[in-house]
């Protein structure tokens, strides 16, 4: 049985006060409940340290939303792996479709980021997913395969032990239009099979593959009960403690 992992990607939401209230509310909502899933929150960079302090006495883990692939130096505006670690991060989201489309990240830079994160002991949450146009053209599997191969190029199975994959169809992000459980399961199964070809059958059974894209309390249970869906990467619905905790309960 693979563990279930529910991560909240706050994106560019919540200032310091908002961070304190959301984390405090989450802790209150989760208190006394025996929640079997691993829970991760990914606030903006400026709030990581505060979040880390607030999470010290809880089982909720901390992640960042991005990283740079160099260790230090003249890279104005970027954040290094050591900075994330010293702020208390255990996880880091890499290759989110908003980073790819709005900020021009490529498979190559994503591959470098994954390698850097692993080298520094950070656990990547590596995002892949097709656009609506690609789905309508019938090239979903080609896109997924290419993103996965290029993103993981030159990395060994041993190095990937702590990596989480997140399948996020771009057309389902922030649109309220989630993939149906069948659509999501079909791609998750494809990803798992590909992992078994690229690495090993054993590793493909272990690796956690999250689904992301309009996950909410109302659809979480159905999505999370699919055999190859091991968790969720939640955007909008993680900004309210009660809806996020309902998703965790659904897992």
Residue number, 199 or 213, with CB nearest to ligand 13P: 213
222 belongs to the catalytic site: no
Q: Which of 29, 38, 96, 134 is catalytic?
A: 96
Residue from the set 168, 171, 243, 244 that interacts with ligand 13P by CB under 6 A: 168
Total residues binding ligand 13P (CB under 6 A): 14
Residue number, 13 or 196, with CB nearest to ligand 13P: 13
Under rule CB under 6 A, residue 231 binds ligand 13P = no
Contacts (CB under 6 A) with ligand 13P, residues 170-229: 173-174, 212-215
134 belongs to the catalytic site: no
Shortest CB 158 distance to ligand 13P, Å: 27
> Which string of DSSP letters, residue by residue, matches the chain?
-PPPEEEEE--S---HHHHHHHHHHHHHHHTT----SEEEEE--GGGHHHHHHHHTTSS-EEEES---SSSSSS-TT---HHHHHHTT-SEEEES-HHHHHHS---HHHHHHHHHHHHHTT-EEEEEE---HHHHHTT-HHHHHHHHHHHHTTT--TTTTTT-EEEE--GGGTTSS-PPPHHHHHHHHHHHHHHHHHHS-HHHHHH--EEEESS--HHHHHHHHTSTT--EEEESGGGSSHHHHHHHHHH-
Catalytic residues: 96, 168
- Contacts with ligand 13P by CB under 6 A lie at 9, 96, 168, 173-174, 212-215, 233-237
């Amino acid at each position: 049985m693979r563990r279930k992992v529910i991560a909240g990607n706050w994106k560019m939401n919540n200032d310091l006060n908002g961070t304190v209230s959301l984390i405090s509310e989450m802790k209150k909502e989760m208190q006394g409940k025996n929640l079997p899933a691993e829970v991760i929150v990914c606030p903006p960079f400026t709030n990581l340290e505060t979040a880390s302090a607030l999470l010290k006495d809880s089982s909720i883990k901390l992640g960042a939303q991005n990283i740079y692939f160099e260790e230090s130096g003249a890279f104005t505006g970027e954040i290094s792996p050591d900075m994330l670690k010293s702020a208390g991060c255990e996880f880091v989201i890499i290759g989110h479709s908003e980073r790819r489309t709005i900020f021009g990240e490529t498979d190559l830079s994503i591959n470098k980021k994954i390698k850097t994160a692993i080298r520094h002991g950070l656990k990547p949450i590596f995002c892949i997913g097709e656009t609506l146009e690609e789905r309508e053209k019938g090239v979903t599997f080609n896109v997924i395969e290419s993103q996965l191969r290029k993103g993981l190029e030159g990395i060994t199975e041993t190095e990937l032990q702590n990596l989480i994959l997140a399948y996020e169809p771009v057309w389902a992000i922030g649109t309220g239009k989630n993939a149906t459980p069948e659509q999501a399961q079909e791609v998750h199964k494809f990803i798992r099979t590909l992992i078994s070809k690229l690495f090993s059958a054993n590793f493909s059974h272990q690796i956690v593959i999250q689904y992301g894209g309009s996950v909410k309390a109302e659809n979480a249970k159905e999505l999370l009960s699919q055999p190859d869906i091991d968790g969720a990467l939640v955007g909008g619905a993680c900004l309210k403690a009660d809806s996020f905790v309902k998703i965790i309960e659904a897992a």
